[in-house]
Amino acid sequence: MTKTGRVVLRSVWIILSLAVLFYCQYVFDGKPNSDSEEVLIILMFILSFPASFLAGALAVGVAFSYEHLLHAPLQTSRPEMFFTWALFFAAGYLQWFTLAPRAWSKWKASSSKKRAQSEGPELKRSGLA
């Protein structure tokens, strides 16, 4: 993929993630049981899949710890929604734009190296090398 293609994909992904955050913050009605957080989690889960499993587990762990340490239920609020969004955003960004390209380039390098090693003896035997 070209550098321009990567920049476009990254920009689209960031814009979609920000659109999810802004939309959910806009429709949040201030009630502790607002459904806008569920919408945020579902959409960010899709955008950052499969790293979203780790982000979701971390968010659940933080919520569980909060409720048990303070002996109070965690209410949906704008800062809490932003924290959840930031977890999913960081996991997705790290996955799609740091780890996946690095893994892809290493895979391509190793496959081309294996191909060159496997072609080498054949060329020597045929007298072309």
d(CA 72, CA 87): 22
Supply the pTM of this predicted model: 0.72
> Average of pLDDT values for 114-119?
71
| Structural domain boundaries enclosing 64 | 3-126
Structural domains in the chain (count): 1
Q: Any idea what the Cα angle at residue 81 is, between residues 75 and 87, rounded to 5°?
A: 125
Report the 10 Å Cβ neighbour count for 75. 10
> Average of pLDDT values for 106-123?
70
d(CA 60, CA 57): 5
128 pLDDT band, cuts 50/70/90, is low
